[in-house]
Amino acid sequence: MSLLDDFDKPINFQPPDEEFYKKLKKIKWDKTAKKLFVKIRKIRRHIAVVRWGTKSSTFGSGEYFALIFFAACNAVNPGRDKILPEDIVISYKTYLKLLNTDISKLM
């Protein structure tokens, strides 16, 4: 939540405090960021339908939540109260890096 796409470099790591969670709860969307997020989601959904068909899965909803959570954390870390387009980019970078990480090396 604090390091996002630098999760594998825990230098000067400070765990989130109670104030972080309060700010996270109050986070809002910038209009441009929301449009970007929706566009990327539609593109990914179309790719998934072409690749795997229309089978339903709960993975997508968890993935959706995680991406929004990462974007919100990236906005709150520097003290903002809105998710901006650059937060969406960091969110996807974090998510993709997590998917490609061999966690056995982090233990």
Query: How many CA atoms within 13 Å lie on the side-chain side of 37?
Result: 24
User: pTM of the prediction?
Assistant: 0.75
| pLDDT, tens only, 31-88 | 999 999 999 988 888 776 655 555 655 556 788 899 999 999 999 989 999 999 999 9
Residue 6 has pLDDT above 70, yes or no: no
| Residue ranges covered by each domain of the chain | 27-101
Per the CB < 8 A criterion, the answer to whether 69 and 98 are in contact is no
The pLDDT-based confidence of 102 (bands split at 50, 70, 90) is confident
Question: Mean pLDDT throughout 13-17?
Answer: 79
What residues have CB less than 8 Å from 76, skipping those under 6 apart? 20, 23, 24, 27
Taking the alpha carbons at both ends of the chain, their separation in whole angstroms is: 18
Q: How many CB atoms lie within 10 A of CB 96?
A: 11
